[in-house]
Amino acid sequence: MSHLEQSFSVKFEYKIFFTSSLFDPRNTRLADFFKKQAAVSLRKIYFVIDQGVADAHPELTTNIKRYFEQHREMQLIQDILIVPGGERAKNEPELFDQIVEAVNQYGIDRHSYIAAIGGGAVLDLVGYAAAVSHRGIKHIRIPTTVLSQNDSGIGVKNGINYKGKKNFLGTFAPPNGVFNDDTFLSTLSDRDYRAGISEAIKVALIKDPEFFYWIATQTGALVKRDPETMNYLIKRCAELHLNHIGGDDPFESGSARPLDFGHWAAHKLEQLSNFEVLHGEAVAMGIALDSTYSFLKGMLAETDLQRILKVLIELGYDISNPHIQIKDLQSPILLGLSEFQEHLGGLLSITLLKEIGSGEEVHEMDQSLLIEASTYVYDATQAGAGNIHQH
């Protein structure tokens, strides 16, 4: 016999909890979670917090310390690390080193936990450090933005940037638990609050028409920051993302990435704007471009396209931002196509729309049609949401 062979499968399981005031000692959700985990030794927990969250919630570190004084299921490492949020978290290698050094210094072993409180970038950084230290330390995510509560914070991906390339270093490592605390959303700026809604629109457009039509009727309530409306949006969006992760390709072995609808342009656009455009804003622009391209390609009805553009405009997205405009074949955003193909590892796979709630993979994009799509979106924004220009 010339070779040996073995195959095995690993079951991953994690829960997403929806709560308010997670670190109020009367809220036992976190303590109950730790009680249910089999204890083998003295377990420690180390917290890393996004600077923006620490600034907006100055009492947070005190509350965490008070919580673990009352709920002694875990030994809290008193030294809580505060790191810059946003793309800086993923661009500065010394932040990764700091977390790994803390693991070393405080003897955080594989039965202990690293918890991250923050937006998607901080969760990505901490998740990556947790996944590679000791080949995997237990990890808890506490997302604090709309974007991270409904998408990035609940997924299985972690990563940091390398020499300007987004998510070049990373792992697929599901967290052990995710705690969505809606009180963190109250301190977000309107811009951050709104940016994350685009991921809900994205997943609705490719997976759930009813959810899209619901969003279309709720744009006013979302702009006014009605908490109940946002809580429903986050929960449904999280559910749709989770259903996808539980499907055939959770670790993205293939090239098909339906959840990356609108993202080939978004990733490039963030880079072109030097990350001044937020991820959610860039995704909204990418959705507008790819939906319009779907229509021009004869896949999507124009009435559906206009519904989509109307929702994006009503939510205040700047979908004809100069960075996304494609005026000719030299437009920098077009480089995003080849970079996205490299990121996928070979075959270009872009999700386009056949109708609201149903996506379809294509493997090439006609660049002259993209120029036309860009012009169409620009014209639509000039006309405004109330009177979308008939092309």
Give 177-210 pLDDT, tens digit per residue: 999 999 999 999 999 999 999 999 999 999 999 9
Counted domains in the chain = 2
Q: Cβ distance 272 to 362 under 8 Å?
A: no
Euclidean distance between CA atoms 142 and 137, whole angstroms: 16
Q: Cβ distance 349 to 255 under 8 Å?
A: yes
Structural domain containing residue 346: 202-387
- C-alpha distances in angstroms, 367 versus 293, 327, 375? 10, 10, 13
Together in a domain, 173 and 82? yes
Together in a domain, 242 and 121? no
For 200, how many CA atoms within 13 A lie in the half-sphere containing its CB? Answer: 34
Q: Which residues pair with 18 in a beta bridge?
A: 180
Q: Cβ distance 73 to 31 under 8 Å?
A: yes
Comparing 150-159, 198-207, 374-383, which segment has the lowest mean pLDDT?
Answer: 150-159
Q: Cβ distance 250 to 156 under 8 Å?
A: yes
Query: Is 75 inside a domain boundary?
Result: yes
Q: Cβ distance 133 to 100 under 8 Å?
A: yes
The secondary structure element, H or E, covering residue 36 is: helix 29-36
Residue 369, burial from CB neighbour count under 10 angstroms (0-12, 13-18, 19+): middle
Together in a domain, 211 and 333? yes
Together in a domain, 183 and 211? no
Q: Which pLDDT does position 164 carry in this prediction?
A: 78
Angle at the Cα of 239 (from 197 to 199), degrees rounded to 5?
Answer: 20
Nearest in space to 111 (alpha carbons), one of 138, 91, 76, 129: 138
Euclidean distance between CA atoms 233 and 52, whole angstroms: 23
Query: Is 4 inside a domain boundary?
Result: no
Together in a domain, 376 and 323? yes
Of all residues in the chain, the percent with pLDDT exceeding 90 is 70
Together in a domain, 327 and 212? yes
Q: Which CATH number does the domain housing residue 295 bear?
A: 1.20.1090.10
pTM of the model: 0.88
Query: Is 178 inside a domain boundary?
Result: yes
Largest Cα–Cα separation, the chain: 72
- Tell me: pLDDT of 336 over 90: no
Together in a domain, 266 and 292? yes
Q: Which pLDDT does position 391 carry in this prediction?
A: 42
Nearest in space to 352 (alpha carbons), one of 260, 270, 284, 283: 260
Query: Is 5 inside a domain boundary?
Result: no
Q: Cβ distance 183 to 211 under 8 Å?
A: no
Confidence of residue 388 (pLDDT cuts 50, 70, 90): low
Q: Which amino acid is at 241?
A: H
Q: Which pLDDT does position 389 carry in this prediction?
A: 47
Q: Which CATH number does the domain housing residue 94 bear?
A: 3.40.50.1970
Q: Which residues pair with 19 in a beta bridge?
A: 181
Together in a domain, 226 and 105? no
Q: Which pLDDT does position 10 carry in this prediction?
A: 77
Euclidean distance between CA atoms 169 and 161, whole angstroms: 6
- Tell me: pLDDT of 386 over 60: no
Together in a domain, 135 and 23? yes
